[in-house]
Amino acid sequence: PSLEGLEEIDAGSEDGKRAPRSRRAEPLLLECAWEVCNQVGGIYTVLRSKVPSMMNRWGNRYCLIGPYSHQSAQVEFEPAPLVGAVGQAVKQMRELGFGAHYGRWLVTGRPHVVLLNYLDAFRYLHEVKYRLWTDHHISTPGDDEMVNNVVAFGESVRLFLQLLAQKESPRRKIVTHFHEWMAGAAVPMLRKDAWPGSIIFTTHATLLGRYLAMNHPVFYDHLPFFDAEGEAAHYNIVAQHRIERAAAHGSHVFTTVSDVTAEECKHLLGRPVDLLLPNGLNIQRFAALHEFQNLHREYKERIHEFTVGHFFPSYHFDLDNTLYFFTSGRYEYRNKGMDLTIEALARLNHRLREAGSPVTVVFFVITRAPTRSINVTALQSRAMLREFRNASEAIKEDIGEKLFQAATAGQIPDLNTLIDDYWRLRLRRTMYAWKRDLPPLIVTHDLLDDAKDPVLNQLRNCQLWNNEHDPVKVIYHPDFITATNPLFGIDYDQFVRGCHLGVFPSYYEPWGYTPLESIALGVPAITSDLAGFGSYLKQLRPDHEEKGISIIHRRYSDFHQAADELADRMFRYCQLSRRERINLRNSAESFSEHFDWHNLGKRYHEAHELALDRLV
């Protein structure tokens, strides 16, 4: 489609003006996902960051469709008048008794969005499920809340698209791009109805692949030989798997995010993908122009504060020779490579000690596991740090005032005599209470299941106890970092900026945003050749190492080889000089530009072109 004059062509322009007749045939692009206006995981990031690129090409002919949730809508959604074809279809949905909302998604680009209250389809859910079974052999258990929601959302979307097509087809072509099985139930239903538009389905991971990777010792070698149906039954995800499979087979264009996941699609869903759509970012959101090195220094100070509070009551080390490494992500212990990371840390600890290195590595594991609360000792250390700060500030002011008075009276006093007894005693008491005989904690929260927690157990097995003689210290923080978190008081992006290295050697990772976000914030990262991002770099950017991204070989290495390689990479990083670290941060930050949607959005545009071409 031509790029000219898009802003005048209307999927729902709020001024209600009709576009000139000759332009009305321009196609319409709808993008449908469970994570529209509803943050769950990485798909939210894909959709949200991609908006400016989509708006740039499609303008007002672009609209997203998602599930209505009152809570998220309060924050992310702004209603708009029901105008244009999309607005009219929403109006009709309402007349049919559906809670349908039309407006703008309040993210950069402010795209049109339709939010459907799928709960309204529950009143005839049994009929929809019956159709799914008779028409598509998808049997859905009665008591699975998630599957029921997905089916109800699928039906709401089907109905909405039918109403829209009645208004627009054949005058205007409609392309609908569905993401992930949770939005996929509408696809087979629409094909059965002979819906006149074109359908793209993108999977961001196969559900079965995720389960198998978590549980099977040699998932990738076995991939061609799995009996998908049998395995789905084994993991009790037959309905989900069949919805995903039906969406893959029912789409005109089937895509995924990387060649790693493309293999899974071929073997587990039985259809090779037509195109790969790698994930990008809106790099501008991260860009801090020439400021990012200063930001590193500023936020590193904040992390230093945490380190002082956490470690220094037990023993001291040189903060100037301390490096902060981190890993983060959803708590999929094996899939996200947390097992490998901890094993490699134990080896790094040994190597740094053997080498007599002056460096201390503080390693943060950031994920979300069920917890009761932040650990009392961790909070106490934090409170005491504040007490030190208050006492020091008070003494500074007191001494300053007394010194001023003495000096103006022509005396130079002994500074020691200027400290008020009250503050002297208070400081002594705090110093006394501050001292601890035990090593610093390795976990910041009280976990609900401390005895079975895999990260904690492996840290124990590897004897990473935060002992004084260990150059590698660990902080397991089983919650995501937000600005309201009392331990750091900074948000996740700021925390990343303050670190030195992100470590993400995933075993199962269709794409993997964490290392990409890390470099966008100017922090070098480690990924693996089993992550879509790593695989992309390995093939297309042989210069990735000098750009600050290392790729651990996991596809054809066993666990111990990979752990050695990872320990070696981290060890090499510890040997860099400050100047070399600064240079690497510069390279990483400028390289991240490659992954901006203005570059990778082209793949999406190709997919949409192909979908239009395949519409007969």
| Residue 115 CA: distances (Å) to CA of 36, 125, 157, 469 | 8, 19, 10, 56
The single residue among 471, 505, 512, 534 that binds ligand 1S3, judged by CB under 6 A, is: 512
Collapsed DSSP state (helix, strand, coil) of residue 38: coil
Nearer to ligand G6P, 192 or 581 (CB): 581
Q: 174 forms bridges with which residues in the sheet?
A: 28
Nearer of residues 257 and 475 to ligand 1S3, judged by Cβ? 257
Q: State which of residues 12, 42, 103, 154 lies at the interface with ligand 1S3 (CB under 6 A).
A: 42
Sole window of 39-47, 128-136, 442-450, 456-464 interacting with ligand 1S3 (rule: CB under 6 A): 39-47
Q: Please tell me whether residue 242 binds ligand G6P under the rule CB under 6 A.
A: no
Closest by CA to 601, choosing from 119, 62, 221, 240, is 62
- Residues 240 to 259: which contact ligand 1S3 by CB under 6 A? 257
Is 355 among the residues that bind ligand G6P (CB under 6 A)?
no
Among 137, 297, 368, 541, binds ligand G6P (CB under 6 A): 297
Alpha-carbon span 444 to 478, nearest angstrom:
7
Q: Is 333 in the site for ligand 1S3 (CB under 6 A)?
A: no
Interface with ligand G6P, residue 321, by CB under 6 A: no
Binding to ligand 1S3 by residue 510, rule CB under 6 A?
A: yes
- Roughly how many angstroms between the first and final C-alpha of the chain, as a whole number? 16
Please list every residue from 493 through 512 that binds ligand G6P, using CB under 6 A: 500
Structure tokens at 51: 């908006």
Please enumerate in sequence order all residues whose Cβ is within 8 A of that of 359, keeping only pairs 6 or more positions apart, or say none: 321, 322, 323, 352, 471, 574
Separation CA 500–CA 523 (nearest Å): 6
Considering beta carbons, is residue 98 or 513 the nearer one to ligand 1S3?
513
Q: Smallest distance, Å, CB 584 to ligand G6P? A: 9
Q: Does 296 bind ligand G6P (CB under 6 A)?
A: yes
Size, binding site for ligand G6P by CB under 6 A: 9
**Which residues, 6 or more positions from 348, have their beta carbon under 8 angstroms from its beta carbon?**
361, 472, 567, 570, 571, 574
Region binding ligand G6P by CB under 6 A among candidate stretches 50-58, 216-224, 304-312, 576-584: 576-584
User: Could you tell me which residues are beta bridge partners of residue 198?
Assistant: 175
Using the minimum distance from each CB to ligand G6P, give the nearer residue, 101 or 300. 300
Rounded Cα gap, residues 27 and 464, in angstroms: 58
Closer residue to ligand G6P, CB minimum distance, 547 or 608:
547
455 burial class (0-12, 13-18, 19+ CB within 10 angstroms)? buried
With CB under 5 to 8 Å by kind, the binding choice for 293 among ligand G6P, ligand 1S3, none is ligand G6P
CA 401 distance to own-chain centroid:
51
> Which of ligand 1S3, ligand G6P, none sits in contact with 562, Cβ below 5 to 8 A by type?
none
Task: Please report how close the Cβ of residue 362 comes to ligand G6P at its closest, in angstroms.
Answer: 12
* 386 forms part of the interface with ligand 1S3 (CB under 6 A): no
Closest CB 290 distance from ligand G6P, rounded Å: 10
CA distance 334 to 173: 44
Q: Does 578 interact with ligand G6P (rule: CB under 6 A)?
A: yes
Query: By C-beta, is 254 or 292 nearer to ligand G6P?
Result: 292
Burial status of residue 389 (CB atoms within 10 A of its CB: 0-12, 13-18, 19 or more): exposed
- Residue 516 interface partner, choices ligand 1S3, ligand G6P, none, CB cut-off 5-8 Å depending on type: none
- How far apart (Å, rounded) are the C-alpha atoms in residues 577 and 571? 13
Q: Which phi and psi angles does 463 have, rounded to 5°?
A: 55, 35
Q: Build a one-symbol-per-residue string for 456-495: x at contacts with ligand G6P by CB under 6 A, - elsewhere.
A: ----------------------------------------
Given a contact cutoff of 8 angstroms between Cβ atoms, the answer to whether 369 and 453 are in contact is yes
CA 287 to chain centroid, in Å, comes to: 18
Helix (H) or strand (E) holding 586: helix 578-591
- Bridge partners, 550 (sequence order): 526
**Tokens 């009761």 found at:** 372
Contact predicate 33/178, CB 8 Å: yes
Binding partner of 294, given ligand 1S3, ligand G6P, none, CB within 5-8 angstroms per partner class: ligand G6P
* Residue choice 219, 220, 495, 513 for contact with ligand 1S3 (CB under 6 A): 513
590 binds ligand G6P per the rule CB under 6 A: no
Judged by CB under 6 A, which of 88, 279, 444, 466 binds ligand 1S3?
A: 279
| Beta strand pairing call for 62-67 and 28-32 | parallel
Q: Which residue is nearest to ligand 1S3 (CB)?
A: 42
Does residue 48 touch ligand 1S3 according to CB under 6 A?
no
Residues 114 and 103: beta-carbon distance below 8 Å: no
- Binding segment for ligand 1S3 (CB under 6 A), chosen from 228-236, 507-515, 520-528, 599-607, is 507-515
207 is written with which tokens? 């559900």
Residues in the chain, how many?
616
Residue nearest to ligand G6P (CB): 293
In the DSSP assignment, the letter for residue 96 is T
Rounded CA separation 341/459 (Å):
10
Q: Which of the listed partners (ligand 1S3, ligand G6P, none) does 330 bind, with a CB threshold of 5 to 8 Å by partner kind?
A: ligand 1S3
Crossing angle of the two packed helices 376-408 and 292-311, in degrees rounded to 10: 110
Nearer to ligand G6P, 203 or 592 (CB): 592
Q: Are 518 and 354 in contact (CB under 8 A)?
A: no
Phi-psi region of 202 (alpha: psi -120 to 50; beta: other; left: phi over 0): beta
205 binds, options ligand 1S3, ligand G6P, none, Cβ within 5 to 8 A by partner type: ligand 1S3
For residue 304, the minimal CB distance to ligand G6P (Å) is: 10
Residue 396 in the binding site for ligand 1S3 (CB under 6 A): no
DSSP state of 14: T
CB of 505 to ligand G6P, least distance (A): 22
CB of residue 269 to ligand 1S3, shortest distance in Å: 16
Chain residues in the site for ligand 1S3 (CB under 6 A): 41-43, 46, 204-205, 257, 279, 330, 509-513
Chain residues in the site for ligand G6P (CB under 6 A): 293-294, 296-297, 300, 500, 578, 581-582
